[in-house]
């Protein structure tokens, strides 16, 4: 028990940070964000994982921007990895995407709505990459033992879980922070998705709305409940972002928030 406590405390003192734009909009945007992440890494002695999606397959409207697609998107992420030396995380929506994404990405993320999709979990696990499973909006933290079991039995060496709130309809999310310690009983790494948790799904007239002013509070509350990592979607001009703009944190506010979480 003492050894387990020592490991948990070490993780809390050295949290994982994941940050990047919601979706790949352009190579220029990726580079702008990557340059800032590298600067923050050097200033704070941390190792932020770069996140961006090559395809947003779960947009509210069929007319919404989705991204450059698998092949082009993975090439763009590969360019960022090669140029800036950042670790890369992206999400996959279909089993056939896992192997190609794993050629570049260090972490494969399973979207919340898809966390019970057995074939998707198995495909991600079989790549040998870290698998980050986002907790479904319709599940409790305790229920996440079953997606973890699927991934581990398929060969995953390391599985993370991410909290992002629960939905009951009515264009809103509620975060029950008790899910964090519940999931820490399943895996040692539990991430708080501080930006998706402020979403207001479908509340933007055919797209998701949200309220980014609560992002810092979500992060600090998660810290109090023992989170071992933090996920931030960031953008230099969120109001012009092509996906999840209302929820994304302004890129120039990321360093100060990370400093607060490290304090």
Mean of pLDDT values over 69-91: 97
Write out the DSSP string of 180-240.
HHHHHTT-S-EEEETTGGGEETTTTTSS-EE-GGGHHHHHHHHHHTT-SEEEEEEESSGGG
The pLDDT value recorded for residue 102 is: 98
The pLDDT value recorded for residue 10 is: 56
Residues with Cβ within 8 Å of 108's Cβ and at least 6 positions away in sequence, in order, are 89, 90, 91, 92, 98, 101, 102, 124, 127, 129, 130, 131, 132
**Strand, helix or coil at 86?**
coil
The pLDDT value recorded for residue 62 is: 79
pTM of the model: 0.90
Residue pointed to by tokens 């928030």:
257
DSSP 143: G
Q: What are phi and psi for residue 202, nearest 5 degrees? A: 70, 10
Q: pLDDT tens, 94-103?
A: 999 999 999 9
Q: pLDDT tens, 32-67?
A: 999 999 999 999 999 999 999 998 877 667 777 788
User: Distance between alpha carbon 24 and the CA centroid of its chain, in Å?
Assistant: 14
Specify whether the CB–CB gap between 73 and 54 falls below 8 A.
yes
Quick check: 202 pLDDT over 70? no
Mean of pLDDT values over 2-9: 38
Query: How many other CB atoms are found less than 10 A from the CB of residue 179?
Result: 25
Rounded to 5, what percent of the chain is helix, strand, coil? 45, 20, 35
Q: pLDDT tens, 160-199?
A: 999 999 987 677 889 999 999 999 999 999 999 999 999 7
């Amino acid at each position: 028990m003492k050894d387990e406590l020592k490991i948990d405390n070490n993780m809390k003192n050295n949290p994982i940070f994941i940050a990047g734009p919601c979706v790949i909009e352009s190579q220029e945007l990726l580079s702008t964000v990557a340059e800032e992440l590298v600067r923050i890494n050097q200033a704070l002695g941390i190792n932020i994982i770069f996140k961006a999606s090559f395809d947003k397959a779960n947009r509210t409207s069929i007319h919404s921007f989705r991204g450059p697609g698998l092949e082009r998107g993975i090439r763009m992420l590969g360019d960022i990895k090669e140029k800036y030396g950042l670790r890369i995380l992206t999400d996959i929506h279909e089993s056939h995407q896992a192997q190609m994404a794993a050629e570049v990405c260090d972490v494969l993320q399973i979207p919340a709505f898809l966390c019970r999709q057995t074939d998707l979990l198995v495909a991600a696990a079989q790549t040998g990459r870290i698998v980050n499973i986002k907790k479904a909006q319709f599940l409790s933290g305790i229920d996440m033992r079953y997606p973890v079991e699927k991934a581990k039995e398929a060969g995953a060496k390391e599985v993370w879980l991410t909290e992002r709130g629960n939905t009951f309809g009515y264009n809103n999310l509620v975060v029950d922070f008790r899910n964090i310690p519940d999931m820490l009983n399943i895996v040692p790494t539990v991430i708080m998705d501080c930006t998706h948790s402020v979403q207001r799904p479908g509340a933007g007239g055919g797209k998701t709305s949200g309220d980014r002013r609560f992002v810092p509070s979500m992060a600090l509350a998660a810290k109090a409940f023992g989170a071992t990592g933090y996920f931030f979607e960031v953008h230099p001009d969120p109001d012009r972002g092509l996906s999840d703009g209302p929820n994304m944190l302004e890129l120039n506010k990321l360093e100060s928030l990370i400093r607060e979480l490290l304090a």
